[in-house]
């Protein structure tokens, strides 16, 4: 099971698109705190609807960001953070993660509506409460384009590559290519609505307990392993996890509402689905989120 949230490269892109243009003077270190409550309708990424398990997830992340101006139209952003994620039902997959981001941004021609280019990478090191299968790290590189169409509309597109390496077993040794499109629309002074479409191609982890679903996955899997993290929902028996090549789509829509100069509330809903490239394995689900965002010096 992969946490289907906004992809790390997309998060980085959306964050960078909200700061002032690179021609502005570099600011002091900025700090932020994000708290998110989410409901995941298929937290175990079950390939059979009867196996699907839902869960509530609480995440808290603190981070520090610093900008470095390189020229009138270019700069570098460095960000580091720490995130704690807790699951209400399946607490074995609660985890702590150290996060890092470095991104280079430049604007070929000056002007508010001129496009900009971003190149960067992220690193996430994760430790889970009681799921050694998932311990490890994710390294990502990405490139993206952005443009203000008007003072209200902003478009973005990007391409990224993720490499996840697990400390134990090879179930979560994953390689994934990602492409995305984003649209932000400032509907009112204190309301921005946004949407994104993300396409992923590469390794995914499906799970199955029902024998019929397992038979659809076994012959097409690169790695098969027992996963006890969800055993409480299946009478104490570990479900089986399968790593295989798949195509995944995620649709995301949301609204961001500032409540003060340095605080905002964010609501979003994501619909995700993944289909194995070979065989009939597939999963789908919905992720509902509400977040509180606080920025301070």
Place of tokens 């194995």: 276
- In whole angstroms, what is the distance from residue 206 CA to residue 208 CA? 7
Cα 82 to chain centroid, rounded: 15
Q: Do the bridges between strand 95-106 and strand 116-128 make them parallel or antiparallel, or are there none, so unpaired? A: antiparallel
Which residues have CB under 8 Å from 19's CB, separation 6+?
Answer: 67, 77
Average pLDDT over residues 28-49: 95
Break the chain into its structural domains and give their ranges.
8-296
Binned at pLDDT 50, 70 and 90, residue 215 comes out as: confident
Could you tell me how many residues make up the chain? 297
In the chain, what is the greatest distance between 2 CA atoms, to the nearest angstrom?
62
Q: How is residue 231 written in tokens?
A: 């055993």
Joined together, the tokens standing for residue 45 give 């990424």
Domain 8-296 is classified in which CATH homologous superfamily?
monomeric porin ompg (2.40.160.40)
Question: What percentage of the chain carries pLDDT values higher than 90?
Answer: 82
In terms of C-beta density within 10 A (0-12 exposed, 13-18 middle, 19 or more buried), how is residue 91 classed?
middle
Instruction: Measure Cα distances from 82 to 35, 85, 112, 136 in Å.
Output: 12, 10, 33, 15
Rounded to the nearest angstrom, the gap between the alpha carbon of residue 25 and the centroid of all alpha carbons in its chain is: 30
Per the CB < 8 A criterion, the answer to whether 31 and 297 are in contact is yes
Helix, strand, coil content of the chain in percent (nearest 5): 10, 60, 25
pLDDT, tens digit (0-9, with 9 covering 90-100), for 64-95? 999 999 998 999 999 999 999 999 999 999 99
Is a pLDDT exceeding 60 seen at residue 247?
Answer: yes
* Between residues 4 and 122, the one the model is more confident about: 122
User: Do 172 and 133 form a contact (C-beta atoms < 8 A)?
Assistant: yes
Confidence of residue 26 (pLDDT cuts 50, 70, 90): low
Sequence-distant (6+) residues with CB within 8 A of 49 are none
Entry pTM: 0.90
Split at pLDDT 50, 70, 90, the class of 223 is: very high
Which pLDDT score, from 0 to 100, does residue 297 have? 65
How far apart (Å, rounded) are the C-alpha atoms in residues 258 and 264?
A: 4
């Amino acid at each position: 099971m992969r946490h289907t949230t906004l992809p790390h490269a997309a998060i980085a892109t959306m964050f960078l698109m909200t700061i002032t243009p690179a021609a502005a003077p570099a600011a002091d270190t900025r700090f932020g705190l994000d708290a998110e409550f989410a409901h995941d309708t298929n937290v175990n990424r079950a390939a059979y609807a009867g196996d699907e398990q839902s869960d509530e997830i609480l995440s808290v992340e603190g981070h520090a960001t610093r900008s470095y101006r390189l020229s009138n139209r270019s700069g570098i952003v460095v960000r580091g953070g720490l995130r704690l994620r807790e699951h209400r039902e399946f607490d074995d997959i609660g985890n702590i993660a150290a996060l890092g981001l470095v991104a280079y941004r430049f604007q070929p021609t000056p002007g508010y509506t001129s496009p900009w280019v971003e190149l960067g990478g992220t690193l996430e090191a994760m430790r889970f409460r009681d799921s050694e299968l998932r311990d490890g790290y994710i390294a990502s590189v990405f490139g993206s384009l952005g443009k203000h169409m008007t003072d209200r509309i902003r478009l973005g597109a990007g391409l990224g590559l993720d490499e996840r390496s697990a400390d134990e077993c090879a179930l979560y040794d994953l390689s994934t290519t990602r492409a995305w499109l984003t649209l932000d629309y400032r509907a009112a002074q204190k309301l921005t609505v946004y949407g994104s479409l993300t396409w992923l191609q590469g390794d995914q982890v499906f799970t199955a307990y029902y024998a019929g679903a397992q038979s659809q996955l076994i012959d097409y899997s690169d790695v098969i392993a027992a996963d006890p993290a969800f055993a409480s929902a299946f009478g104490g028996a570990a479900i089986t996890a399968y790593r295989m090549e798949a195509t995944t789509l995620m649709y995301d829509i949301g609204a961001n509402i500032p409540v003060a100069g340095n605080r905002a509330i964010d609501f979003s809903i994501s619909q995700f689905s993944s289909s194995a490239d070979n065989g009939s394995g597939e999963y789908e689900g919905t992720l509902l989120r509400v977040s509180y965002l606080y920025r301070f010096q």
